[in-house]
Structures are given as structure tokens and as C-alpha cells.
Chain A
Amino acid sequence: MAAVATVSSASGILAMLQEPAEELKLHALASLNSVVHLFYPEISTSIPTIESLYEDEEFDQRQLAALVVSKVFYYLGELNDSLSYALGAGPLFDVSEDSDYAHALLAKALDEYASFKTRASKATEEEENVDPRLETIVERMLEKCILDGKYQQAMGMAVECRRLDKLEEAIVQCDNIHGALSYCINLSHQYVSHREYRCEVLRCLVKIYQTLPHPDYLSICQCLMFLGEPETVANILDTLLSGSKDDALLAYQIAFDLVENENQAFLLNVKNRLDARTPAQSNPDSGSALPGDQTANLGTTSTEPAGDVQMGDDTTTANGNAHPVDPNETVHADRLSKIKGILSGEKSIQLTLQFLYTHNRSDLLILKTIKQAVEMRNSVCHSATICSNAIMHAGTTVDTFLRENLEWLSRATNWAKFSATAGLGVIHRGHLQQGRALMAPYLPQSGAVGGGSPYSEGGALYALGLIHANHGEGIKQFLRESLRNTSAEVIQHGACLGLGLASLGTADEEVYEDIKNVLYTDSAVAGEAAGIGMGLLMVGTASEKASEMLAYAHDTQHEKIIRGLALGIALTVYGREEEADTLIEQMTRDQDPILRYGGMYALALAYRGTANNKAIHQLLHFAVSDVSDDVRRTAVMALGFVLYNEPEQTPRIVSLLSESYNPHVRYGAALAVGISCAGTGLSDAISLLEPLTSDVVDFVRQGALIAMAMVMIQTNESFDSRVGTFRRQLEKIILDKHEDTMSKMGAILASGILDAGGRNVTIKLLSRNKHDKLTAVIGLAVFSQFWYWYPLLYFISLAFSPTAIIGLNSDLELPKFEFVSHAKPSLFEYPKPTTTQTTTSAVKLPTAILSTYAKAKSRAKKDAESKANLEKTTEAESKANQEKATDAESKTSGEKTPEDVSGSTSAKAAKSQEDGDAMQVDSTAEKKAPEPEPTFQILANPARVLPAQEKFIKFIEDSRYVPVRPAPSGFILLRDTQPTEPEELVLTDAPATVVSSTGNAAAAAGQPAAMAVDDEPQPPQPFEYNTL
């Protein structure tokens, strides 16, 4: 027995196939089956023979023959034939076989089945039935996956194949049902491109959720929101509210999470249903923004929701004590009113406002530099500066800069005045209670004709819209009246925009009629805003109104109106995906380039954040083939909207376009990256934008600068060094006398965006649950329209969301609560404030402050004067905190308690310096400068936490408060583990509690004094409400 024999050819076996005897044929087939992977080239010539065996009805091993043929076809690369024979092989085709053949065919079978199912779902009648054999294979595969415990695979396949029954089976059998469900939700958002089907999947998931013993209501409600079923959400909330205290907390959390998605129409629906559920209750809720009560409330400090909360304290605490005995009516009613406050968005807006106000770190020096550098006569740069200021202070209510530069401000005339007034709306965004009072001096006075300039009046109406964006129940009526009472087109313009913003997505029939009347006056200025306003009103409703608007767009002669309408129509199909296809088709085929341009927006918005291949394909097609530059530019930009759920993809996709010879396409590419990568600080995005910021064409530079600012927002220099370079570049452009106006304007705006909202906001288009944030997306879409109309710049404020973690107790107040961020503080700290050139010799001082700056933040704010008295207590406390943190993490990084103590003192120093009393503590601060940077940082409620920082956040385990949901972002309801102990609250003043009705004299500059925070630990002191 010398060598091992190997088969060198299959010809012998093939010859055996020809034998007349059945047994020999069988044997030959079996042998072939085992060697087919080696000899498929030889066997392929004999395929007809084997096929004839398969077709021979009397041959009893037809399936084997089919299997052999299938394998040969597979090796030849003919997957379709291979699959059809594999189906013929029936049970012989082994789904569990671990071979390339089996894998490839299974994939093919699944594809085939999935595409078939997809087609079947589209066809109206069930005319073609799926091959039962194919179905069997898929089912066998699914069962096998479930048996093997590969649940995720099974779920994926079931979703892909539209087998919801199997999906359910897989989820129910899975050992970690909650994990499986959340996996599925992710799946449905990321991979199910067909909207209707996604709804079905989600419905199925909700069904499963509800059968669970401990349903995850947070996720259910998110699903239900997507499905648009306010009734069920209301039910769930109602049940939870009637439950225990923890359940109520959960309900609040759900409400906050729902609010985060900014779907006003849905929230209103839920709220109304909750109302309807308790008809017996007299309705004490949020009437705060009723037009009547403004004048009455102006002077008082406590606004109505605050009053609500105050009242809530008592009752809930009562409940806390006597909890199991008496879950009585009043408790329920109180909870109900609280949750309605949340759902109306008021609570979150109020808290956000508070946060942005107290944490405002905007750098006035930057503005000052800009102001000095900009030529007086250059109105474009002038209004850009005003806009930049508005963006920098968006939502902070800090209008110091404006107040300090009133004379300079007054240079704004005509439309610039309009913009300047509207800018106030951005600054006071979310100031629901006081908004109208703030704008009062500018608003059109009923009766008095020609009191103010129509520009400032229009701007004020627009500003009101911005203040109440997406929460306009209270202001709607007033805006409508203003719209009806005027015939000045500028005021109409402002009112239309304002009305659209305030009643975003509510599809209010009456408002629609009002705006339509304006449109039909066929005035270019008013008509443009009317078009946009109608779109805003109808966002995402895919209503019939779109065709009406389209018809008018064809009728009118005014380009402006057509453009407004085109954008408006695009807004109506927001998020409708396939449903919008007919409309998109209609618009993109239009002769008028402006309507095609609208079609691009429609594509962008209908497929926002889906990364839908079809949409991308279409957009790329238009980007390179349309004759109009506007359409091409918009098509490229639209890619940014379609891709914002996968920001990493965008730079890759538009990188070629960014090198286009056509400057419009380059501009579009820059904005696309800016939009989809906004707030990510993505390195690829920055690399792509960098060369564009020094493009030869001025408007490309402008776009690139703005886009870069959007990408880099809230990124600091220690995170990416290019941020510093960029800031210096901006400064250089602004200071350069010979720079083009266009790029100068871009640079000014970019500085504003970079430090937007007092450096406490970012641009976020996706909520924590990966749902799209309607307002933000709409905001950016209209913002991108600034190419034609500068006042639309302010829409960017809609896209800002605060980067904060705000912990709330069951009374919706802020308890003292701390958590740890396991990252170097410098990674996420505020950018350094700029210094004037004259003070270069004194630079040492600010650096010393900065190294401990983070500490300052981690400590509650400290009043400089109380420092001396309280030093000891604070030290003790900080020591305790430090130890707690180190214990929790068993991290022995620091034998540095002493350092830390001094750190905390210097922190106070920094704080007091901020308040303007630096002299006393200079030495301390300076001495401690070389302290090594800690690797963690303790943050106190409410804290600034950047999105990138969220993954480093850990809650302290044995802390008194336990979060209701684990994900650390946004509003977090905290469960009190020691409900009997007195609670310490973080006391913050609501901003601008005193508003001067004349609007000019007031104490905005003095406001930092109001930031006093009660920090002292005083455990023994009994609280009043606790004894109750």
C-alpha cells in the first residue's frame, strides 16, 4: 500500500451514470454528490443527463439528482438555477450544513423570499403565491436559528422576510426579551426602509411588549409615537399615573422622552386624550400662555407652572407618606396636571431655559471683535453680526450685547431691522411665559396705525414664532389676529412665518385658511412666507393641500412665491418616505427649476435620516445632471438630510462632489456634510471641509465655514486640534479688510454657530431613541434656504438642543444629585475665553483658572462672599465626594485629596473670578496651576454633558437617587431611595423674572447675580413639607 489514492477525474462516475442498472445510477449520483466540489467542471458537461434523471418521474432518487445539479450550478455561479434545483432537492438540502454552498444558497433563498414577500405586499391581490418549497426552506432556517439560540439572526431574517409570526416566535422564545425587543426596534429603524412595513413591525413589537409581565413602557411609547397612536399612549400614561409613585415617575420619564421627539401634533393629541379621560377634573393645567394673563403676571415672579409644581409638592409628599393606603383622586389629578405640563413641553422648555441661562458661557469678546472689525456701512456683515449674536445666545435670554450696543444696532434698517428684531426671538427662545411681553414694544399695536416700522413689527411676529416654535398653542390666536389685521406685506411676512413656526405640524384648518388668504393676495414678499408657513403648518401630514399649493405655484408669476411654495410642499411630505413618491416625481419632472429645487427638498425631507438607497441614487443623479445650478446645489445638500442617521457615510459619498468644477455643487457638498455631521466633530468631515474653507469662490467659502462650524459645534481644542485652527481662521477672515463680503458673512455666522446657545447647545437631528427630531430637521431645512433670504438664518435655532443632564425628582424639581464622568475634564470643557490683545502680559491668570475650571463646574456655584465662612464644610464635602467616587470605581488614581481640596477652593476662586471679584483669590489659583489633570470629574445636577461625553457618564451606585432609565442624557427622572429623608433642592432662578415692558432698560447685565445657588449642606434642618 504505497500512496494514498485520490480520484483524478469524475469521468468514471459519470460513465456509471449511463449504466442501465438503477442501483448503479444511484451509486454514481451519491458518489458525484461527494466529489462535486472537486469535479464540477467535468460534471457540468453531463448536467443534461442528471437533469433528465431528476425529471424522470420513476426514478426514486430524483431529489439527490436535483441536489447534485444544484451544487454544480452553484459552482458555476448560476445561483438562480442552483436555487431552483435546491428547492427540488427538498429535505436533502441541509440548511445547517456548514459549507459555502449551503450558506450561499440560504442567503439566496432568503433574498428571493424576502423580495418576493416585498413584491407580494405591494401587489393589490394575492395573484402569485410564493413557492411553498422556498417557504419551507426559509422556515426551516428560521427554526434552526431559534433552536441554536441565534435569536438576533432569526429576528433579522424574520423582519427581512416579512414573517412577523416568526419574529414574534423568535422574540418570545428568546431568553432576553427586552434586549431582543430593543434590538428589533433598532432593526426596524435602521434596516426596514419601507415605512408601512416598519409600522407593522413596530405594531407587532408593541403587541409583544404588552404581553410581558413587566413591559418596558419607555420603548412601547416610543414605538407608539412612531405609529401615531396617541390613544394607547394616553392609556398607558393614565394607568401608570394611577399606580405607585415609581410608576408615576416612569410616566413622567416617558413624557419627557416623547417631548424630546418634538412631535407637537402627537403630543397635543395625547394631552387632549388625557383631558378627555378625566372629565370630572376641573382643568388646572398650563394656561400660562393664555393671551390674557400676561399683563396680570408681568410683575410677579412665580409663573403659573411653577405654581403648579408648588402645589404638587404637598400632595405628592402626602402620598409618599401614606402611599399604600390611599392613592386618592387628588394625587392622581395632581400627577395628571404635571404630566400635562410635561407633554405640553412647558416643563422641559422651562428647565432648558433655566439651564441655558445659568450655564451661559458665551464669549462677548468675540462679538466685540467682530463688531469692531466689520465695516459700518456693510449691511450684510452688520446683520450677520446681529444674527451671530442671536445664535450665540440662543435660548439663554441674555441680550447684554444688544443692550450695550443700541446705537450700533439702530443702523439696521428695513429688512435688516426685521432680522434684528427676529433675532430677539432666538435669544428668548422658549421663554413662553414672558415672550410676548418681551416683544411687546415691537409688536404691532392694535388700533394705532403706523406706530412702529412695519419691519420691526413683522420681525417681532416672526420672533414670537421662534420663541414659541412647536409650542404655539398660546400664541397662535394672537398671531392670527395680527395676520388678519394687517395689509402690510412685511408684517404679513413675519406673521406667516411666526404662525407656521408656532403651529408647526398641527395642520390647523383655520390657520391654514388665514395663511392661504395671504398667499392669494399674490404679493411676492408675503407670498413667499405664506408658502413656507403653510408648509410648516402641514409638516409631515402629506395632506391634499400640497396639490393645491402646487397648482398655485404654477399659476403665479412671482419667483419668490414659487420658491416659498416649493419649500412648503416639500415640508408637507416630511418623513412620509414612499408615500411621497408621486409628489416628488411630479416636482422633479417639472419644467420650472424652482419646483425641481423644491422636489430636491421633498426628497430630502421625505427620506430624512433613512439613508434610503433609492433616494440617494436619485439625488446623486440630479446633482450631476440637472441643468439648473440651484437644483444641483440643493440635490447635493439634500444628501445631508437623507444621510444624517449615518454621518460617517456622508463625507465618503460627497467627497467626489466636493471636488466638482461647479462651485454650486461644492457648496452643496459642504452643507451636506455640515448638516449630516452636525455636532459630531467627525474627523473625516473636518478633513473634507478644510480645503473648501479656502476655496476660490466666495460663496463656497461661506458654505464651508458655516458647515464647519456646524460640525465642530461644542468640540473643543483638546478634542480635535483643528478646532483651534478653525477659530483662528475665522478671526483672520473677519479681521481681513480685503476678504469678500460673502465669506466674511460666513465667518461671522460660523463664529456664532460654533458658540451657539452660550456654548451649551449642539445640533442634534436624532433623539436619544434614534427617532428624528422633527423641529430640528425642519429648522435646518428652512435654514439652508438662507441662500435666498437671510432672515431664514434664524431657523437654525430650531435645531439646537441643550447638552444637559437634568435630574428631576417626583415633584419635577431638581434635587441635589451627583454623578461621575470618567473622562478627562479638559476633553469636554468649555473653550477658553478669548483675551484681548492688550492683556497679553496677564495671560497667566486665565490659564490658572482654566486648569481648575472643570472643578468649578463640578461644584455647585459658589458665592464669593460666603466662601470664607463655608470653606471647611465644603472641603469636607468635597473629600467625601471624592472618596465616594473612588470607592465606587475602585480607582486608585488619586491620593490627591489634599490637592482636591485646594482644587475646590481654586474652583471657587474661578467662580468668584467669574463674578468679578477675582482679586482676593488670585494667589491661590495661580499656585495650583500645575496640578495634574484628573481622569474623572464629578458633575452635579444639572450638568453640561456633551453627547460624546455621555458614554463616560456613570451614576454613583449607592447614591440616594436612582435614575428611572439608565441612559444618561436629557431629562432623567430620579427615584428617591430615602423618601423619608428631607430633600435638598438645587435652587435656580428662572431667568428674566423681572421684565421691563419697555425692553431697553432692564437688568440683563446684572443677571449673573441671580445665579446664586444654595449649596450648603444642612441636613439637620427639617423641611416644612416633610413634617406634613
Chain B
Amino acid sequence: MDGELDEAIRKLAWLNFDCSRNELGSCVARLTELKILLTKFPSLPPTFQMTPNAVEELKFARVVYEFAVILSMEMKDQEAFERDLVQLKGFYMDTRGMIPPSPDEYPILGLNLMRLLAGNRIAEFHTELELLPLGALHHPCIKYAVELEQAFMEGTYRLINDRKAVPHESYRYFMDLLAETIRDEIADCSGQAYDHLPVNDAMEMLMFSSDQQLLEYISERQHEWEVQNCSVLFHMAKSQPRVGVHSFKLIKQSLCYAQELEQVV
């Protein structure tokens, strides 16, 4: 058992080495090897056997998965990120009494929050938040994500973009993603609110620095928009009929029901 742990530690060292040289491909391969090695540790979830060096093993496994999370983020592989993070969370949640908390715990959980926010998965975001202990909310990484979410909900998008004080380097990636998400939100709203907008206004609203970027965005993401005479036409608005017609019918129906109910009674 000790031998296996030692081997694993050696592998982690290699992994670190590879990583520092930015050889991501070999990193992934080594990481997989490591994970397979971890399956042989009986002290790991879900069995949690109380072997003599359970603490060491648990700590080590946690480090491996933390590493895996960071790595997958660097690879920009969101699926892998989620996978690793879920497994890592098992360590955070279930071993709280057994091994000292990891220094990286909150940054990584914060990272997860950022990911959910950037993916506009607000419900899951709040679920995760609820699962955190109260004290965690004061941790800068978590607090940052929470504030971002508040701003996002209020619609004070400027505020989000203005904030440069990222608590951790790794957050940048998700900040970019978040910006994209915000842009999509704004685009959706303007499509509902206006029939058309001048290009300049649209550009400013969607936080682009040039016409070119706007046109690119339109061709990539918003196929129903058209640019004519220096203004953006939101076709979407036209194609969708007003919903008011239905409501009238509904009201009528409800009244009818009410009347008949009264007769019955």
C-alpha cells in the first residue's frame, strides 16, 4: 500500500513537471494513470476504509483531483472540469472531519460558481451556494462570485465588466465566458424591446469596440438579425406575434367558468 502511495506521489511530481513545461497532452495521460492508481486505495470514497494511512491517501487524492480540475480548466474542457469537480467535491464534503481542509477548497468552489454563472445556470448556482457553510461566504473567492451574480441579476452589467480585481488568476477564463453570456442576454432583451436600433447604439449596448465585431457577432450568433441602413433590424420581434390575443380569450373563458360555477353552487 505504501508502495502504491509512493508511486502515486512520484507520478504527481512528474505531472507537476510536465505541467510546468506546459505539455498538456502528456499531463492528461499522466493524470488518467494517477486516477486509475487512486481506485486501488481502499480508504477513498465510497468505501472509506480506515486504513492506517487513510489520511495521507485522502489528502493525496484530493490534491490529484484539485490538480485535475485546474488542468481541465486550462484545457478549456468544461465537461472534464465538471466531472473532476464533482468527484473532488466528494472529498470536500465527506472528509471534512477526517483531514484538514485544503487551502484550495474555496478558490476551486468559487471557480465552480463562476462556471455556473458563466453558463447562466443560476438555479444550480444557488444550490451550490446553499451547500456551502456560512463562513465560506466571507472568503474572497466565493464573495466575488456572489457579488457578480447579484450584479448580473440586477442587470448592472457595466459593473461586471468594470471589475478588474479578480481574486485568482484562474478566474479570468470564466470572466471571459461570463462576458459572452451577458452579451447574449442583452441581445435577447433588445430583440424583445426594439424593432430596430442604429448600429452605433447597438454596438455600445452590446459592449463592442468596433462595427466589425458587431457584424461578426451577428453573423455568428444572431441569424435573424439584419443590418440595413446603418441600423439593426430585429426580425425576431416581427416573426413573433403579440401574446395579448391569448390573454383576452383566457379572461373570457375564466369568467365563463366562474359564472357556471356560481350556477352550480
- Which residues from chain A sit less than 8 Å from chain B, CB to CB? 1-16, 18-21, 23-24, 27, 31, 34-35
Contacts and interface: CB of A to CB of B under 8 A. Distances in A.
B98 A2 contact: yes
B177 interface: no
A11 B48 contact: no
A318 to B, nearest CB: 85
B36 interface: yes
Contacts of A7: 45-46, 48, 90, 94
A4 B48 contact: yes
Interface in B91-112: 93-95, 97-98
Interface in B50-72: 50, 54-55
Contacts of A9: 90, 93
B91 to A, nearest CB: 8
Interface stretch (B19-27, B80-88, B224-232, B246-254): B80-88
Given A21-B32, A23-B36, A24-B35, A2 B97 contact: yes
A4 B50 contact: yes
6 tightest CB-CB pairs across the interface, nearest first? A12-B90, A3-B97, A15-B86, A27-B39, A2-B97, A12-B87
Contacts of A8: 90, 93-94
Given A1-B98, A31-B47, A34-B46, 4 more contacts: A7-B48, A19-B35, A21-B35, A34-B47
Contacts of A13: 45-46
14 contacts: A1-B98, A3-B97, A4-B48, A5-B45, A6-B48, A6-B94, A10-B46, A11-B86, A12-B46, A15-B82, A15-B86, A15-B87, A24-B35, A31-B45
A20 B87 CA distance: 15
A16 B36 contact: no
Contacts of B82: 15
Nearest to B55: A1
A6 B97 CA distance: 10
A13 B35 CA distance: 13
Given A11-B89, A12-B89, A5 B39 contact: no
Interface residues of B, number: 25
B252 to A, nearest CB: 42
A14 to B, nearest CB: 8
A816 to B, nearest CB: 79
Contacts of A27: 36, 39
Contacts of B48: 4-7
Contacts of B90: 7-9, 11-12
A27 B87 CA distance: 13
Interface of B: 32, 35-36, 39, 45-48, 50, 54-55, 79, 82-84, 86-90, 93-95, 97-98
Contacts of B97: 2-3, 5
A37 to B, nearest CB: 12
A3 B98 contact: yes
- Interface SS majority for chain B: helix
Contacts of A12: 45-46, 86-90
Contacts of A34: 46-47
Given A4-B50, A5-B98, A10-B46, A23 B39 contact: yes
A546 B248 CA distance: 72
B36 A21 contact: yes
Contacts of B89: 11-12
Contacts of A5: 45, 48, 94-95, 97-98
B75 to A, nearest CB: 13
Contacts of B47: 31, 34
A574 B74 CA distance: 85
A366 B114 CA distance: 101
A31 B93 CA distance: 18
B55 A15 contact: no
A244 B97 CA distance: 85
Given A5-B98, A15-B82, A24 B39 contact: yes
Contacts of A20: 32
A16 B65 CA distance: 12
Contacts of B88: 12
B50 A1 contact: yes
Contacts of B93: 8-9
Nearest to B54: A1
A936 to B, nearest CB: 66
A8 B39 CA distance: 18
A537 to B, nearest CB: 66
B46 A19 contact: no
A36 to B, nearest CB: 11
A830 B151 CA distance: 99
A722 to B, nearest CB: 54
A8 B96 CA distance: 12
A13 to B, nearest CB: 6
Contacts of A16: 83, 87
Which residue, of B46, B47, B83, has the highest number of chain A Cβ atoms within 10 A? B46
B29 to A, nearest CB: 10
Nearest to B97: A3
Contacts of A24: 32, 35-36, 39
Nearest to A10: B46
Nearest to B82: A15
Contacts of A21: 32, 35-36
A5 B92 CA distance: 11
B73 to A, nearest CB: 16
Contacts of A1: 50, 54-55, 98
A561 to B, nearest CB: 57
A15 B83 contact: yes
Contacts of A35: 46
A19 B79 CA distance: 10
A19 B47 CA distance: 19
Contacts of A10: 46
Contacts of A6: 48, 94
A34 B94 CA distance: 17
A13 B87 CA distance: 7
A307 to B, nearest CB: 90
Contacts of B95: 5
A24 B47 CA distance: 15
A27 B94 CA distance: 19
B94 A19 contact: no
Contacts of B35: 19, 21, 24
Contacts of B55: 1
B231 to A, nearest CB: 47
B148 to A, nearest CB: 25
A650 to B, nearest CB: 47
Nearest to A32: B46
A4 B48 CA distance: 8
A3 B86 CA distance: 22
Nearest to B37: A23
Which residue, of A1, A5, A8, A19, has the highest number of chain B Cβ atoms within 10 A? A5
A53 to B, nearest CB: 16
Contacts of A23: 36, 39
Contacts of A19: 32, 35, 83
A13 B89 CA distance: 11
Nearest to B36: A23
Nearest to B65: A12
A3 B95 CA distance: 9
A3 B50 CA distance: 11
A801 B54 CA distance: 80
A20 B84 CA distance: 12
A4 B79 CA distance: 31
A532 B125 CA distance: 85
A981 B46 CA distance: 84
A23 B97 CA distance: 29
A690 to B, nearest CB: 48
A15 B86 CA distance: 6
B42 to A, nearest CB: 11
B229 to A, nearest CB: 50
A31 B48 CA distance: 11
B127 to A, nearest CB: 12
A598 to B, nearest CB: 50
A206 B61 CA distance: 68
